[in-house]
Structure 1
């Protein structure tokens, strides 16, 4: 089948969790023998090297440059279509007419208006990435400045109802979407990847990696501050990713290493991965990456959202608890093997569930494709 994909974020370079999700999901779909026509709708700008890299990833790549980018709503919330401009709609309509896709996949509910352009013969798929209804209230409670997109549950439901199938990335969001939408809801978490692994020797080297969004900025700064205040001199924290540009620290126990081009190198540098996020939504790609590398991981409960975590070091309630547990495991290295075993078990369960969920999703798309094709012949 020919898939026409619209995304407000590119798939190169893979410097943020949403980019990794889109790339891995489309790669899995393409491996099933499908053709991927990728249209980047340009909200994050475009470097020539990014366009070149994406052309090597997909069967067809095009760039739609928006004529207007809204950053703040006129009222308390964004309406569901506030982010999509007339030029993007016009270019999307031309692409649909020219390419005659079997499936249209739109990333993010605020771009769901594109699905209204789909012919009756086309399967309409929406990958939500996150829950945006009342997202501003979640940010307010966490004392994080409102950013990106937020709307009301009613407006979010309008966007979801444009799709034949809505994809949620964790169970709680799937349940919420089923309450506000009549569309078919499918669960598909981030696609797991095969990673190189190394042995752990517990030298007291801890690491975090993240993109430069407001939620990461807040909790990574809290982690660094608590580390400087409480960690022992034998413990060292490596902070990687674009979030380093927003971290303020002056300590020999913390290294800001910035954007990492080679994840293998980063994870081979550290003994234990950390996830300090205390609030947020969605499924945390940084947690999955650490598990893929068979890393022992110490995480807040929020950082493990979407995983069936049971180890006490996986369900911590605060950054302070996370640093305290980091100290404990550095002082008691025998704890490391049990933590590593817990990561291995979590990953195996996750991979099995993902393969099953992916096949269920693809079967539903194929079923709808056949049904719509039969309607054309009646």
Structure 2
């Protein structure tokens, strides 16, 4: 246990992706949320359910995991091995809300809450892990960081004549999952409104805060435009369309498109005149040093595009589609392009006109300033709520899990027998998971189950 966090109130954060390195949008969201909680005076115990690792490796991708860095960052770090194969396809119209949350996840949460009874809140990332919240005892605040809307997500694939390779559900399933939490965190305003329409749980807007890394400055010229991304479907479909558009009619006097990140592994054969792959880069600074302007030609996806927030934090002007900048509340036309071809046209327009480039840079800076103010205000609201809960734990008991919540019972949307029923907990002295990383716990039992690999 980190000595500087020993006396702070604790929150368990459960995530299906590692918190380090921060090489993908969902990792950036996880890191930003944990950073907000840390700034608020809370100690974080991180439980990493090795779910994402299994999925990406099945597609030949190998995103790195840095357990050592995670241990340096958090009070305790736990690893929950994925013992079962996570289904990527379903014969139903949508996944049941619990099909991606196996028993070992809930078993870990039950063990953790008995081993660390002083922890005041449990936060799970993604609604498909909400089943684990049913193992949280009364008096402990429960939160879901949604990241995205998952009901009807599969319909976004139809224009691409493709099938999704990630979780999607229906509105009834999403509502059942959200109902398990006292607080639902939404990454952007439109999704906050949607979640509020589905659930009686309290919905808070929490856009991630991106600390400013570099001041904005108008580029002397646009020699290179950049795209940074993980190898997920929205990124692949969107940059694929943009690469085709950028290739068309390219001449040496136009900017070069540079692409970085894990996505490069999934883009064989795209390099050529006007397009260059940088591969995976360990440092964001190395990418933004090579991009005068960043493009976000997103054609699908939900949530908030972390690549946009990161680019703005590094002082880079951005051009993108409405989907690409959803959640940033853009007003500049170059931030609300219709499609990949419109993004290309906007890039060429500012490349040829220094006044237009200066206007875009000012608009990007103003966008970032407005967004940052919203993010910090939302963070303060969450911390105030958590502080009130922590202060009141000793003097009053919050409602019992499920009290007055008839919609907690999942019924037909559940992927597990007996979902929603009260299950008696039998505290165990040993964690019910396969393996923990070294130095992940401070008690004798934890150390016994934390062998070095």
- TM bucket, shorter chain: over 0.9
2:371 is aligned to 350
CA distance in 1 between partners of 2:364 and 2:207 (Å): 17
Q: Find out whether 1:241 has 2:261 as its counterpart.
A: yes
Q: Find out whether 1:98 has 2:106 as its counterpart.
A: no
CA distance in 2 between partners of 1:224 and 1:191 (Å): 30
1:27 is aligned to 35
1:215, distance to aligned residue in structure 2 (A): 1.1
CA distance in 2 between partners of 1:122 and 1:342 (Å): 43
Q: 1:121, 1:376 within 8 Å by CA — same for their partners in 2?
A: yes
1:194 is aligned to 212
1:28, distance to aligned residue in structure 2 (A): 2.0
After superposition, give the CA deviation of every residue in 1:139-194 in whole Å (9 maximum; x if it has no partner): 22453421210001111101100000000011111111111111000000122123
Q: 2:40, 2:383 within 8 Å by CA — same for their partners in 1?
A: no
Greater RCO, CA 8 A, separation 6+? 2
Q: 1:81 to 1:335 in 2, by over 3 A?
A: same
Q: 1:144, 1:214 within 8 Å by CA — same for their partners in 2?
A: no
1:252, distance to aligned residue in structure 2 (A): 2.3
1:315 is aligned to 336
1:203, distance to aligned residue in structure 2 (A): 3.7
Q: 1:196, 1:264 within 8 Å by CA — same for their partners in 2?
A: no
Which of 266, 270, 292 is matched with 1:271 structurally? 292
1:76 is aligned to 93
In the alignment, structure 2 segments of 5+ residues that lack a partner are 1-8, 55-62, 400-453
Q: 1:272 to 1:27 in 2, by over 3 A?
A: same
Q: 1:57 to 1:262 in 2, by over 3 A?
A: same
- RMSD over aligned CA atoms reads 1.9
Which of 245, 264, 280 is matched with 1:226 structurally? 245
Q: 1:144, 1:218 within 8 Å by CA — same for their partners in 2?
A: no
CA distance in 1 between partners of 2:398 and 2:370 (Å): 43
Which of 8, 11, 18 is matched with 1:10 structurally? 18
2:283 is aligned to 262
- Count of paired positions: 378
CA distance in 1 between partners of 2:137 and 2:127 (Å): 19
Note the 1:132-171 alignment, pairs <5 A: 132-171=150-189
Q: 1:80, 1:151 within 8 Å by CA — same for their partners in 2?
A: yes
Which sits farther off after the overlay, 135-144 or 61-70?
A: 135-144
CA distance in 2 between partners of 1:357 and 1:251 (Å): 44
Classify the secondary structure of the residue corresponding to 1:39: strand
1:224, distance to aligned residue in structure 2 (A): 0.9
Structure of greater Rg: 2
1:209 is aligned to 228
Note the 1:280-299 alignment, pairs <5 A: 280-299=301-320
Which of 75, 84, 88 is matched with 2:105 structurally? 88
Q: 1:115 to 1:251 in 2, by over 3 A?
A: same
After superposition, give the CA deviation of every residue in 1:53-112 in whole Å (9 maximum; x if it has no partner): 110110100101121122222422111111111122212211111012101011000001
1:294, distance to aligned residue in structure 2 (A): 1.5
Q: 1:349 to 1:222 in 2, by over 3 A?
A: same
Q: 1:366 to 1:256 in 2, by over 3 A?
A: same
1:300 is aligned to 321
Which sits farther off after the overlay, 315-324 or 256-265?
A: 256-265
Q: 1:145, 1:214 within 8 Å by CA — same for their partners in 2?
A: no
TM-score, length basis structure 2: 0.80
Classify the secondary structure of the residue corresponding to 1:18: helix
Q: 1:377 to 1:207 in 2, by over 3 A?
A: closer
Which sits farther off after the overlay, 152-161 or 229-238?
A: 229-238
CA distance in 1 between partners of 2:393 and 2:116 (Å): 17
